């Protein structure tokens, strides 16, 4: 499979956002979902509005990652060879993602508008599995609004910058199953993203969905709505600060 990253640019969004509808095959999707489902139960963290797995581990309190490789099933076929072919992580500190969150959203579940924070290089690559879902994108609020947010990061620091908002999203991205969404630069630094807690995504069409012209299929959404099903996402990032286990133990021991 060959991809043209520039041809996948979502032109109606601030720079940079890219969408590839057929990033993995149906067989690869089935295999990845089986790997997610077969993970040991302790690997799951149950939150109030979703559950997730964190690979290879959660970040420390200092937003560091303990040095450990990602499992093979999260590397191939996504990182190797497809991320490598797209060269999307070439400018990242480790030139490859070293951290993956596996989020499972049941119908009615979502996540508040948030920013991913400073622990990561400003690039996120998300592969969607199982079902489509709409990602809502918001402009940030004022500094005063930020100060109202006392929610601490948890479960991989995925929600390190949640802001309190009831505003309508400025942009909406429809993420189909088997697709890849890449956001970086201003899209990462200057905007918030979230998923509405609803059992169906509504008001779908070329007037509201930024990547409508890049979708693999438009027919399922011609009625303007889609009934939610269980959607699983693999979110790849590069954590800036990586520490070796020995150095961590030495620090904790005070030596």
> β-pairing, 242-243 with 51-55?
unpaired
- Domain borders along the chain are 6-141+167-250
187-228 confidence digits (pLDDT tens) = 999 999 999 999 999 999 999 999 999 999 999 999 999 999
Q: Higher confidence at residue 67 or residue 251?
A: 67
Q: What is the pLDDT of residue 15?
A: 87
Mean per-residue pLDDT of the chain:
89
For domain 6-141+167-250, the CATH superfamily is Alpha-ketoglutarate-dependent dioxygenase AlkB-like (2.60.120.590)
pTM attached to this predicted model: 0.89
* pLDDT for residue 142: 46
Q: How confident is the model at residue 141 (pLDDT cuts 50, 70, 90)?
A: low
Q: 248 pLDDT exceeds 60? A: no
Residues 98-113 pLDDT 10s: 999 999 999 999 999 9
Q: What are the residues facing 232 on neighbouring strands?
A: 104, 129
* Distances from the Cα of 15 to the Cα of 184, 214, 227, angstroms: 7, 16, 30
Residue 241 predicted with pLDDT over 70 = yes
């Amino acid at each position: 499979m060959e991809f043209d990253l520039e041809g996948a640019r979502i032109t109606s969004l601030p720079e940079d956002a890219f969408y590839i509808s057929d990033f993995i095959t149906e067989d690869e999707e089935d295999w990845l979902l089986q790997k997610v489902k077969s993970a040991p139960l302790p690997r799951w963290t149950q939150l109030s509005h979703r559950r997730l797995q964190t690979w290879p581990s959660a970040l420390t309190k200092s937003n560091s990652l303990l040095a450990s490789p990602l499992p093979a099933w999260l590397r191939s076929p996504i990182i190797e060879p497809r991320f490598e072919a797209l060269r999307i992580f070439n400018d990242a500190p480790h030139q490859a993602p070293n951290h993956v969150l596996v989020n499972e959203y049941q119908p009615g579940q979502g996540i508040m508008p948030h920013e991913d924070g400073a622990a990561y290089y400003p690039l996120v690559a998300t592969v969607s599995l199982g079902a489509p879902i709409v990602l809502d994108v918001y402009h940030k609020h004022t500094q005063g609004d930020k100060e109202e947010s006392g929610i601490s990061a948890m479960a991989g620091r995925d929600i390190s910058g949640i802001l309190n908002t009831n505003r309508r999203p400025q942009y909406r991205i429809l993420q189909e199953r088997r697709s890849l969404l890449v956001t970086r630069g201003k899209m990462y630094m200057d905007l918030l993203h979230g998923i509405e807690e609803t059992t169906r995504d509504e008001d779908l069409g070329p007037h509201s969905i930024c990547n409508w012209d890049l979708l693999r299929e438009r027919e399922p959404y011609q009625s303007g709505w889609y009934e939610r099903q269980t959607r699983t996402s693999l979110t790849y990032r590069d954590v800036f600060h990586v520490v070796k286990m020995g150095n961590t133990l030495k620090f904790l021991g005070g030596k």
